[in-house]
Chain A
Amino acid sequence: MTSIFQVGAFWLISAAIIFTAILVVASKQLVHMVLWLAVCFISIASLYFLLDADYLALVQIMVYAGAVSIMVIFGVMLTQKPDIKECLLFNNQLKLATLVVIVLLALTGGMTYRADWFVSGGTVPADTIAYIGQLLLSKYVIPFEVAAVLLLVALIGAIVLAKEVKPGARSRD
């Protein structure tokens, strides 16, 4: 990736991703947090377009920016108490967590900077969706089916967990 447009796009998108991620962590209002999270997800999707992964970019927009954000918004609205403001944003481990994160980031950054990556000069085929579809239904068919079963189990589990318990109903045991 050496074209000036790709380089400029990479730095622009990275700045957007990191800026919105910091806003997600630092927002006071939970609803603002979800909105910045959606912006962050869409910036990450544009990074996937830059990496020639169009299918992943579409999935990112549909699943993360669409479904996950809507689900989290519902969760926020179902659990928010209107009368009590959240007075303290962070818990009492702020200093320790800052230290741990900075040390780990310095370690990872240093190692990454010194590493010598192997880069193959190949290019991604033009229509990635056809290749991914064939791979998912031939070589990766068992993980694909297991993922489907996992989604079904998670669906049923979420319904059972979140089902409202009627006050007059007798308990199950």
Chain B
Amino acid sequence: MPALAISPTNFVLLSAVLFFIGLFGALTRKNAIAVLMCIELMLNAVNINLIAFSRFVTPQLFTGQIFAIFVITVAAAEVGVGLAIIINIYRHRLSVNLDDFDWLKW
């Protein structure tokens, strides 16, 4: 293998770094919308993985690409419903700080 060739390892490492940047943000940010954006970053990291394996392992079958299409669909639905929930909570609490959302704590 030439030293400069791009193999699946490079893509998996890239998507791992992107996933953990997103995970760090989702664990530490206080703003609920910021956490939603970090979750989007994590989903994109997963998509990079799926498409890279589709390109390198089964380039004729498109399994990974079709899986990625469904991941994008679910992510779009998740953003819509998540933002609606955050806007609804904001009306009641006048806050989007996740530390203030403690109704279920007892």
Contact = CB atoms under 8 A, between A and B. Distances in A.
Interface string A92-118: 011001101100110011001101011
A120 B58 contact: yes
A168 interface: no
Which range contains the number of B residues in contact with the other chain?
Answer: 35 or more
Interface string B7-42: 111111110111011111101111101101110110
Q: Is the interface of B mostly helix, strand, loop or mixed?
A: helix
A56 interface: yes
B51 A104 contact: no
A125 B33 CA distance: 40
B24 A124 contact: no
Interface of A: 1-2, 4, 6-7, 10, 14, 17-18, 21-22, 24-25, 30, 33-34, 37, 40-41, 44, 47-48, 51-53, 55-56, 59-60, 63-64, 67-68, 71-72, 74-76, 78-79, 81, 86, 88-91, 93-94, 97-98, 100-101, 104-105, 108-109, 112-113, 115, 117-120, 122-125, 128, 131-132, 135-136, 140, 143, 147, 150-151, 153-155, 157-159, 161-162, 164-165
